[in-house]
Amino acid sequence: MTDDPDLLRLGAQVEAAQAKLVMLGDERQLGPVGPGGAMRALVERHPAILHTLDDNHRQVDSGERAALEQLQAGNVGVAAAWYHAHGRINTQPDRHWTLRRAVEGGRRISTPAVMPLSSLTSGALWLS
- 82 and 109 together in one domain: no
> Which pLDDT value is given to residue 14?
93
CB 48 within 8 A of CB 42: no
76, burial (CB in 10 Å: exposed 0-12, middle 13-18, buried 19+): exposed
- 97 and 72 together in one domain: no
Q: Which pLDDT band, with edges at 50, 70 and 90, does 107 fall under? A: low
- 108 and 123 together in one domain: yes
Residue pLDDT, tens place only, 9-25:
999 999 999 999 888 87
- Decide which of 33 and 5 is more confident: 5
Domain of residue 68, residue span: 61-86
Among 62, 3, 14, 10, which Cα is nearest to 38's?
3
Average pLDDT over residues 55-66: 86
Q: Which pLDDT band, with edges at 50, 70 and 90, does 114 fall under? A: very low
- 77 and 97 together in one domain: no
Q: Which pLDDT band, with edges at 50, 70 and 90, does 37 fall under? A: confident
Total structural domains in the chain? 3
> Which pLDDT value is given to residue 108?
59
Q: Is residue 8 part of a domain?
A: yes
Q: Is residue 81 part of a domain?
A: yes
In 11-63 the beta strands, taken as DSSP E runs, fall at none
Q: Is residue 16 part of a domain?
A: yes
- 103 and 78 together in one domain: no
pLDDT at 125 over 80: no
Average pLDDT over residues 83-112: 75
> Which pLDDT value is given to residue 112?
45
- 8 and 44 together in one domain: yes
